[in-house]
């Protein structure tokens, strides 16, 4: 059972992560960037010969400074077999370098008890800093839905209040719709950047978890949609993407096509992603802040 006070004090060690231009390009390729190998805008993220050092996709921040599967530690009180990714947000303080060394500092920021049989949410932040200068690069907020952990809060050890509900996408027609095919091997590519969970690579493990075949990493779907926002709302300029948030609502199978709907509202972009072949919304309540 979760002990909120203990979990809030979870002792994360700083994670020092050195990454190269090759890692940066590998991440972009794993999201499908370069699908048109003659597009100069895409090549800026996956080619280090024509224009020198490649640009880093802003969403690379989610794979830098990974703290490991810390929720798997029995001392957390979290039923690790019942967790799913709930929401992800990144706020960027400056564009990420194409290569370098970062320091990641993690902390649990919110623990919400939804009640017996209803689960709980655990939110933790990751602050990324450039090691050489100490400059802040990004703040990543990761929310996990712990389906097996509701009912732990007491008067002596209460949970936190739920955060304000994220706004749904507008009811009007989107301003732009983009179809993005994923590759059958997309999850195999993405796991070279982060998250080697066999759910995304081993058919037997996927079937045991109730899926017909391995599913795509949620953060791969999130990154693909983040690239769509960058491409269609920021002119492929990483400095213009200030924040990105979305809620995970259903898995994607590698090889499926994503349909990304974009609503443009000044410096705000609302978005939603679905798999039209199954009529399933896979990312919802999407919101980005962009610089004009």
Q: Is the pLDDT of residue 255 over 90?
A: yes
Q: Which of 3, 48, 125, 195 is catalytic?
A: 195
The answer to whether residues 110 and 183 belong to one domain is no
- Per-residue pLDDT, averaged over 16-34, amounts to 96
263 in any annotated domain: yes
Q: Is 179 a catalytic residue?
A: no
**Number of domains the chain is built from:** 2
What whole-number distance in Å separates Cα of residue 58 and Cα of residue 61?
Answer: 6
96 in a domain, yes or no?
A: yes
pLDDT of res. 197: 81
Residues 126 and 215 in one domain: no
**Does residue 89 lie in a domain region?**
yes
Residues 137 and 16 in one domain: yes
Question: What pLDDT is attached to residue 11?
Answer: 93
Domain extent, residue 247, equals 176-290
| Contact present, 141 and 121 (Cβ < 8 Å) | no
| Structure tokens belonging to residue 24 | 């940066």
Distances (CA, A) of 219 to 5, 126, 179: 29, 15, 18
The partner residues of 125 in beta bridges, in order of sequence, read 107, 141
**Choice among 106, 113, 142, 200 that is catalytic:** 200
pLDDT digit string (tens) for 82-122? 888 899 999 999 999 999 999 999 999 999 999 898 999 99
Distance of CA 140 to the CA centre of its chain: 9
pLDDT-derived band at 166 (thresholds 50, 70, 90) equals confident
Does 50 have pLDDT greater than 70?
no
In a domain, 162, yes or no: no
Question: What percentage of the chain carries pLDDT values higher than 70?
Answer: 99
Q: Is the CB of residue 48 less than 8 Å from the CB of residue 54?
A: yes
User: What value does the CA radius of gyration of the chain take, rounded to a whole number of Å?
Assistant: 19
pLDDT digits (tens, 9 = 90+) for 171-199: 999 999 999 999 999 999 999 988 778 88
3-class DSSP state of 232: helix
User: What torsion, rounded to 10 degrees, do the Cα atoms 239, 245, 250, 252 define?
Assistant: 10
Question: Under DSSP, is residue 211 helix (H, G, I), strand (E, B) or coil?
Answer: coil
Residue 246 has what pLDDT? 97
Q: Output the furthest CA–CA distance in the chain (Å, rounded).
A: 62
Q: Report d(CA 68, CA 65) in Å as an integer.
A: 9
- How high is the pLDDT of residue 288? 97
**Averaged confidence pLDDT in the chain:** 93
| Residue 33, pLDDT score | 96
**By C-alpha distance, which of 106, 62, 82 is closest to 217?**
62
Which structure tokens are listed for 182? 């994923």
| CATH classification of the domain holding 241 | 3.10.129.10
pLDDT tens sequence across 276-286? 999 999 999 99
What's the whole-model pTM score? 0.92
Same domain, residue pair 132 and 229? no
The pLDDT of residue 51 is: 61
| Helices 218-233 and 21-30, axial angle in degrees (round to 10) | 90
| CB 287 within 8 Å of CB 269 | yes
130 in the same domain as 211: no
The token duo for 119 is 């689960």
| Per-residue confidence (pLDDT) for residue 152, from 0 to 100 | 86
Q: Which of 111-115, 153-157, 218-222 has the highest mean pLDDT?
A: 218-222
Distances (CA, A) of 125 to 1, 62, 117, 141, 158: 22, 11, 26, 4, 20
Residues 30 and 89 in one domain: yes
Q: What 3-state DSSP class applies to 62? A: helix
The whole-number pLDDT of residue 153 equals 81
How deeply is 135 buried, as exposed, middle or buried, from its count of CB atoms within 10 A (0-12, 13-18, 19+)? exposed
Examine the residue annotation and report whether 48 is marked as an active-site residue of this protein: no
pLDDT at residue 84 in the model: 86
In the structure, what pLDDT confidence band is assigned to residue 150 with cuts at 50, 70 and 90? confident
Q: What is the pLDDT of residue 199?
A: 85
Alpha carbon 95 to its chain centroid, in Å, reads: 17
Residues 26-47: tens digit of each pLDDT: 999 999 999 999 999 999 999 9
Domain check: are 138 and 222 in the same one?
no
Task: Examine the pLDDT at 265 and tell me if it is beyond 80.
Answer: yes
Tell me the two tokens of residue 200: 């995304």
pLDDT of residue 196: 78
- At 144 the three-state DSSP class reads strand
């Amino acid at each position: 059972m979760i002990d909120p006070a203990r979990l809030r004090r979870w002792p994360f060690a700083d994670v020092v992560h050195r990454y190269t231009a090759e890692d940066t390009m590998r991440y972009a390729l794993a999201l499908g960037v370069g699908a048109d190998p003659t597009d100069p805008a895409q090549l800026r993220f996956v080619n280090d010969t024509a224009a020198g050092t490649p640009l880093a996709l802003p969403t690379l921040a989610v794979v830098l400074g990974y703290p490991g599967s810390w929720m798997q530690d029995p001392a957390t009180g979290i039923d690790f077999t019942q967790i799913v990714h709930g929401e992800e947000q990144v706020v960027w303080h400056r564009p990420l370098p194409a290569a370098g060394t970062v320091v990641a500092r993690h902390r649990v920021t919110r623990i919400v008890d939804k009640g017996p049989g209803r689960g709980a949410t655990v939110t933790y932040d990751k602050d990324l800093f450039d090691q050489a200068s100490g400059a802040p690069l990004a703040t990543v907020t990761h929310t996990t839905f712990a389906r097996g952990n509701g009912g732990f809060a007491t008067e002596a050890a209460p949970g936190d209040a739920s955060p304000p509900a994220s706004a749904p996408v507008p009811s009007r027609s989107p301003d732009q719709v983009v179809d993005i095919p994923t590759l059958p091997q997309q999850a195999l590519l993405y796991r070279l950047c982060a998250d080697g969970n066999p759910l995304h690579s081993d058919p037997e493990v996927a079937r045991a978890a109730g899926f017909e075949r391995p599913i795509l990493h949620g953060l791969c779907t999130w990154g693909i949609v983040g690239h769509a926002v960058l491409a269609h709302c920021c002119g492929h300029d990483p400095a213009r993407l200030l924040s990105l948030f979305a809620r995970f609502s259903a898995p994607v199978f590698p090889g499926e096509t994503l349909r990304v709907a974009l609503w443009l509202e000044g410096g705000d972009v609302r978005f939603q992603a679905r798999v039209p072949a199954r009529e399933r919304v896979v990312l919802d309540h999407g919101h980005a802040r962009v610089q004009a």
